[in-house]
Amino acid sequence: MAFVTDPSIRQVFCEGQPNSLDVAFLNRVIPIGKAEVIPAGGKYALRAFIQGRMSSYGSPESWPDYLAFRDRDFDAEPSETPGLIRLEGKTPIWLTYRACIESYFINSQLLHDYWAESATGPRWRHGLPPAIESIQVAILQASHDLADYQAVRWALAKLKPGPRWPEIDTKWTERSGDLPPSLAFDDCLAEARKMVDAFAAQVSGVTTAKLEGTAQDYRLRFTQDDFYSQSLFLVWFHGKDLLSQLSGHLPSNFPYRRYAEWAASRVDLSRYSDLQQLAEMCA
């Protein structure tokens, strides 16, 4: 079988498709000419994709250097010190320190810059940018709105009995970033109970009682003042959810998906130690 990539070139696998945000973002993070970014589709198929790709090179001794990088999501809690998180297993898969790539775009100055640049365009329908201070207030409001929903999502993630068990989904909406009709704790917990009841029929140790207790623990964590004063929500809360909720707090229903595409090419990478660590690993 012909090699898709010269074995002397490092390969960095990621989620998504060739035109996805992940690929565009990684091509900024990784020094030019140091690696080829290879999208592998969904995160659950990442290991199998890599194994299939590597097998085309023959024995492991002839494999090129490679690693994978993907969103942390709710698969691991953030480390105490900012940096990449190694996913358990033999395959070198590294996770973002923040919950996902979009989490790095939640910045009041960056949002303001996008708004100011876009406001001069003929198709912009969202008015002039609000003050940076107003955007920061909106970010805090959105994070408080999401606290109970994020607590329940974390609780669902914690119910997985072990690495060999199938995933328990952490959302009951169609896709990540689509928020449920109600973000209230009791409503979110009711939806999560339905998911757990269906899963508990197959796996012992997964109970609604464990779900409820764990959700309350996270809910308590997410109500502490320092969680917001230290902006820890930017690390713990999923960036797609936060951008979605934030768009409702900004004037004229801010187009957060278009903003994320713009921000991927402009975010200041030097501010994030995990992204710098990834660049050094590929240098």
Among the listed residues 170, 162, 242, 163, the one whose alpha carbon sits nearest the alpha carbon of residue 211: 170
Give the phi and the psi of residue 190 in degrees, each rounded to 5.
-65, -40
What ranges make up the beta strands (E) of 71-218?
85-86, 93-95
> DSSP 3-state assignment of 10?
strand
Q: With pLDDT > 90 as the criterion, what percentage of the chain qualifies?
A: 73
Instruction: Return the axis-axis angle of helices 208-221 and 132-157, rounded to nearest 10°.
Output: 150
pLDDT in tens, 245-280: 999 999 777 899 999 999 999 999 999 999 999 999
pLDDT in tens, 149-168: 999 999 999 987 666 566 67
Measured torsion, CA atoms of residues 218, 260, 84, 149, in degrees rounded to the nearest 10: 10
pLDDT confidence bin for 59, thresholds 50/70/90: confident
More confident residue, 111 or 205: 111
**CB of 263 closer than 8 Å to CB of 110:** yes
Give the phi and the psi of residue 48 in degrees, each rounded to 5.
-65, -40
CA 7 to chain centre: 30
Question: Could you tell me the sign of the dihedral formed by the alpha carbons of 257, 263, 264, 265, in that order?
Answer: positive
Instruction: Give the mean pLDDT of the chain.
Output: 91
pLDDT for residue 28 is more than 70? yes
* Residues comprising the chain, all counted: 283
pLDDT confidence bin for 3, thresholds 50/70/90: very low
pLDDT given at position 197 = 85
pLDDT given at position 1 = 36
